[in-house]
């Protein structure tokens, strides 16, 4: 695997894990309300069982099929990884994180989760290996109708939250905050991670033995 691909896949997988951690933190800060997509996932969980992570995977698969038919192209490998790993990571981090029993911890969980989720989302999108199912919808809205990522994400998440609420999912003040402001985190974070990735890829590769031979080269130069 080339140096470029190694860095791209590293950014992708680390970003995906960070985003999933943020989602799990928001779920733990339950009294504030969950993210719009998790309103839908929890609503489906209440109505049909399984786990929140399982419904993340199932809805992701549905979106992949729908967007693929619309775009008339086969999804990239990274999109499939996103669908499978995001739900798995969410179930794992939800199990791992300590339960919050006080409102102050719920608030901290929620606020940190929103920031972590947005940063992770931007980091895994930056390599352009293939956006996740939900972010593919966001990018389609931007490309087809124009506007900003913030507006596209707001419209997409509002729709998901309404459907989830109808199914019995929890909507709170935090749900509105995520729908309104998560795009403001992703918007500046995305070009930041794109620049960081470009720097990593552009860094010169030091050949093996170059450092060890440096003192000898300096001595040779001084003799000359």
Alpha carbon distance 159, 224 (integer Å): 73
Q: What is the pLDDT of residues 37-61, one digit of tens each?
A: 888 888 898 888 888 788 888 888 8
Query: What pLDDT sits at residue 17?
Result: 93
Q: What is the pLDDT of residue 34?
A: 78
Of the candidates 26, 38, 56, 24, the one whose C-alpha atom is nearest the C-alpha of residue 170 is: 38
**Which of 2-16, 129-143, 178-192 shows the highest mean pLDDT?**
2-16
Name 191's Cβ contacts closer than 8 Å, sequence gap at least 6. none
Angle separating helix axes 3-28 and 36-48, nearest 10 degrees: 70
Rounded distance, CA 133 to CA 62, Å?
Answer: 9
With beta carbons less than 8 A apart as the criterion, state whether 140 and 67 touch: yes
| pLDDT of 224 strictly over 70 | no
Q: What is the pLDDT of residue 21?
A: 92
More reliable by pLDDT, 157 or 112: 112
Closest among 169, 144, 141 to 40, alpha carbons compared: 169
Question: 170: which residues sit within 8 A by CB, 6+ positions away?
Answer: 30, 33, 34, 39, 42
The per-type count for the chain, helices as H runs and strands as E runs, is 9, 0
Location of structure tokens 């960070």: 18
Comparing C-alpha atoms, which of 41, 32, 31, 36 is closest to residue 173? Answer: 32
pLDDT at 219 over 50: no
Q: Is a pLDDT exceeding 70 seen at residue 184?
A: yes
Q: Which residue has the tokens 């290996």?
A: 129
Spell out the domain ranges in the chain.
Answer: 3-201
Position 174 scores a pLDDT of 79
The whole-number pLDDT of residue 222 equals: 43
Please report where in the chains the tokens 């791992």 appear, as a residue.
96
pLDDT at 204: 58
The 10s digit of each residue's pLDDT in 71-128 is 777 877 878 888 788 878 888 898 888 887 788 888 888 889 889 988 998 898 888 8
Q: What is the pLDDT of residue 102?
A: 81
């Amino acid at each position: 695997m080339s140096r470029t691909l190694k860095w791209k896949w590293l950014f992708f997988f680390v970003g995906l894990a960070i985003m999933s951690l943020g989602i799990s933190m928001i779920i733990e800060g339950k009294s504030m309300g969950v993210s719009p997509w998790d309103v839908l996932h929890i609503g489906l969980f209440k109505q049909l069982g399984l786990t929140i992570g399982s419904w993340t995977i199932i809805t992701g698969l549905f979106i992949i099929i729908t967007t693929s038919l619309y775009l008339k192209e086969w999804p990239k490998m990274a999109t499939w990884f996103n669908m499978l790993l995001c739900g798995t990571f969410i179930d794992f981090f939800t199990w791992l994180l300590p339960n919050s029993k006080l409102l102050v911890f719920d608030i901290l969980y929620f606020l940190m989760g929103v920031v972590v989720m947005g940063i992770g989302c931007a980091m895994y999108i930056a390599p352009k290996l293939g956006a996740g199912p939900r972010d593919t919808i966001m990018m389609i809205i931007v490309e087809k109708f124009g506007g900003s990522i913030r507006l596209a994400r707001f419209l997409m998440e509002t729709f998901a939250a309404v459907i989830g609420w109808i199914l019995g999912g929890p909507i709170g003040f935090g749900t509105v905050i995520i729908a309104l402001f998560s795009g403001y985190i992703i918007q500046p974070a995305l070009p930041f991670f794109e620049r960081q990735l470009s720097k990593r890829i552009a860094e010169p590769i030091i050949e093996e033995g170059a450092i060890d031979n440096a003192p000898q080269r300096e001595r040779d130069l001084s003799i000359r």
